[in-house]
Amino acid sequence: MEKKELTDKINKLKKEKNAIVLAHTYQNIEIDEVADFSGDSLYLSRQAAKTDADIIVFAGVYFMAETAKILSPNKTVLLPNIKAGCDMADKINLKQMREFKAKYPDIPVVCYVNSTAEVKSESDICCTSANAVNVVKSLNTKEVLFVPDQNLGSYVESQLEGVKVITYPGYCPIHHRITTQDIEKQKALHPNAKIMVHPECKKQVTQLADFVGSTTAIIKFVKESKDKEFIIVTEQGVVQRLERDCPDKKFILINEKAVCDSMKLLHLEDIYNSLKNNEFEINVDETIAKKARTSIDRMIKVNA
Ligand code: 13P
Ligand code: SF4
């Protein structure tokens, strides 16, 4: 099918079925053409919580669709490719979570939204990369446990005085493998470029940044900046969107491996098939969903 025909059919199905498409910033950029909302994890969970659509098609990865289902239990939530997982979320399961908590009793647990519903259900509050610092601050405590991302946890600690963040040793392979040498190499090639870093990168890398933020925060910063050249230290989808939206600026992806294969599984065809066949429906056990919802709701109430 031609792209135009496919887009038209998707839009028609969306109307007929009262469906919306939510797309994460790392998706193949063609998906934005049929997306009702595109953005970072925090923005998309807020949209999932307030939509009155009957069907939410989540163009993202499994934990995002699961989060949408937890927030909208009476809606149908579809993930167009059931294999779209997140390596970071898979780094901690319920048993490991309970063992980690048992090692540090009576300390509040913050869980990054990139985690399973079960892990969320065992946490006090959720966070995304956009609001992690404010979420931890809102707890008003001297110590917190942070799962599963050690890098985001240590970034949060660096931003708050007098708070010890005890991290679980999880990470996102795409961000974790970016090194200071990668930055130095690109900086030598592009000395005037500003360095934009996602907080899932290692501490040594975020320390070299001109700006650290979520995918949406990076895009916003670049759009408002007077600078013309940027080294983008996160997934390639951010570069694609910046090139589309800011044709007068130049963007350098930190290295060619900064691509999340899971996020790139979806194409327009998959969105069409998902809507047409109601595939693949995501469900969450009710008891787990109820507990997980408390921690997501708490997060949504904290300002980014
Ligand atoms: P954002 O919260 O910035 O959207 O990032 C989500 C993610 O999966 C980053 O790897
Ligand atoms: Fe998960 Fe990393 Fe992919 Fe984000 S980029 S979805 S954290 S594997």
How many residues does this entry show for the chain?
304
Give Cβ neighbours of residue 48 (< 8 Å, ≥ 6 apart).
22, 56, 58, 67, 68, 71, 72, 77
Ligand 2 nearest-atom number relative to CA 89: 1
* Residue to mutate, 37, 40, 151, ligand 1, most ligand atoms under 8 Å from C-beta: 40
Q: Are 79 and 52 in contact (CB under 8 A)?
A: no
Please determine, for residue 147, whether its predicted confidence score (pLDDT) is greater than 90. Answer: yes
Cis peptide before 169 (omega within 30 of 0): no
Pairing state between β 37-39 and 76-78: unpaired
Nearest CA to ligand 2 atom 5: 260
Chain segment 265-274, per-residue pLDDT in tens: 999 999 999 9
Residue 297 CA to residue 284 CA, distance in Å, equals 16
Which of 110-138 are b and which e, b meaning 16 or more Cβ less than 10 Å from the residue's Cβ?
A: bbbbbbbbbbbbbbbbbbbbbbbbbbbeb
Question: The whole model's pTM is what?
Answer: 0.96
Confidence of residue 222 (pLDDT cuts 50, 70, 90): very high
Atom of ligand 2 nearest to the CA of 86: 1
Using CA atoms, how far residue 214 sits from 70, 219, 239, in Å, is 22, 9, 13
Please name which ligand lies nearest the alpha carbon of 40: 1
Residue 280 has pLDDT above 70, yes or no: yes
pLDDT surpassing 70 at residue 304: no
Tell how far the Cα of 214 is from the centroid of ligand 1, in angstroms.
Answer: 6
Quote the tokens at residue 190: 């592009």
